[in-house]
Homo-oligomer: A and B are copies of this chain.
Amino acid sequence: MPNTTRHMTSTLDADGRLTLALEEVELPAPTASQVVVQVEAAPINPSDLGLLFGPADVTGAEYSKGKIVAQMPAAAMRAFQGRLGLTLPAGNEGAGLVIDAGSDPAAQVLLGRRVTAFVGGMYARHRVIEARDCMVLPENVTAREGAAAFVNPLTALGFVECLHAEGHRAMVHTAAASNLGQMLHRICAADGIPLVNVVRKPEQAALLRSIGARYVVDSSADSFRQDLQAAISETGATMAFDAIGGGPLLGQIMGAMEVAANSGSQYSRYGSTSPKRGYIYGMLDPSPTILNRNFGFVWDVSGWLLAPVMERLGQAARERMYARVAAELTTTFASHYKAEVTLEAALSREAVLDYNARATGAKYLILPNG
């Protein structure tokens, strides 16, 4: 067993200096209930980028071997008061091989197995974690295939669980050509849930159509508003999950829901009483959300965050979700990556400028030992 390992951290100082670095740290022996995972693959999700870089200036940053120093904009500092001076390990999720285990039977049984986990700090050569936090990968599933078993799959399944729990029958999804969007399409197709896929480019629309998506609306098209209205009216979607956050898009979607709800019904000065439900789960666009409120007074817009939502959905739903992810990891929940990089290469200027643009289809996978 190695005595030390290497992991990636992000540290913000009070003067706005953001330092990303690979640090050599002690690798403690596992306690009775823990295992040591040799991390083989960990994806860079948008939620990781928030911790790693946030709104820092990566273009003007200083890059050296295994280290980046960037400046955080002054206006953003208020939101980060809580993390000043803290050295935060990065990497929400990842998969690897269990190379050591504590004495508990639950830990011992994992020795030599390939597992995946969602515990943070996975941009590391090794990670000591609780045995109960490991999901064992089937024999035929590689670490690459199992590395992203939590954030995107549980988010996509969480949308569907919320749809049912809140009594909706069809949904709208934005930034819909993403890995997550493709998973959501496959889930909804299998479950018979009408899904309106909103994308921002013609090639993204083509991609979704090529995998069988029926309702695809391109916000860059001149006919966007009419296309959106037609898709929402036809599906009866009353719920939207928005990865973008900024700008008028979510409000436009809810306005289209209102038009659909009012079609053929009696006039009410307060708008329709049909629910119109928008969730913002990402912030691909960090600019303000603009709501025109042309959708009456019966509507809700909320933030959507995986952990508290899963808590709210309850034990039965959580078990259902985990079982489905395990069973469909290489089909429904397959991810695609633009590039695979080492820990060192993940901190290179070329890689950062590419994956931190948060463009659909530009997801990276880190191979900490490869």
Contacts and interface: CB of A to CB of B under 8 A. Distances in A.
B281 A297 contact: yes
Contacts of A262: 81-82
Interface in A158-186: none
A172 B305 CA distance: 25
Contacts of A105: none
A202 B47 CA distance: 44
Contact of A288 (B82, B251, B266): B251
Q: How many copies does the complex hold?
A: 2
Contact of A302 (B248, B273, B301, B308): B301
Q: Is the interface of A mostly helix, strand, loop or mixed?
A: mixed
A283 interface: yes
Nearest to A54: B269
A292 B297 contact: no
A83 B269 CA distance: 8
Given A283-B293, A288-B291, A288-B293, A259 B303 contact: no
A315 interface: no
A292 B303 contact: no
A78 B82 CA distance: 46
Contact of A296 (B271, B281, B288, B303): B303
A79 B266 CA distance: 13
A110 to B, nearest CB: 28
Contacts of A302: 299-301
A50 interface: yes
Contacts of A286: 293
A280 interface: yes
A268 B298 contact: no
Contacts of A299: 302-303
B82 A268 contact: yes
Interface in A229-261: 245-246, 248, 251, 259
A215 B246 CA distance: 32
A267 B297 contact: no
Interface residues of A, number: 48
Given A283-B293, A289-B293, A297-B281, A305 B78 contact: no
A226 interface: no
B297 A303 contact: yes
A216 B51 CA distance: 37
A96 to B, nearest CB: 23
Interface string A52-96: 000000000000000000000000001111110010100000000
A294 interface: yes
Contact of A301 (B80, B248, B267, B301): B301
A278 to B, nearest CB: 9
B83 A294 contact: no
B301 A300 contact: yes
A47 B297 CA distance: 12
A290 B293 contact: no
A223 interface: no
A167 to B, nearest CB: 14
A259 B82 CA distance: 10
A280 B296 CA distance: 11
15 contacts: A51-B269, A79-B271, A82-B262, A83-B267, A246-B293, A251-B288, A273-B308, A280-B293, A283-B293, A288-B292, A296-B303, A297-B305, A300-B300, A300-B302, A300-B303
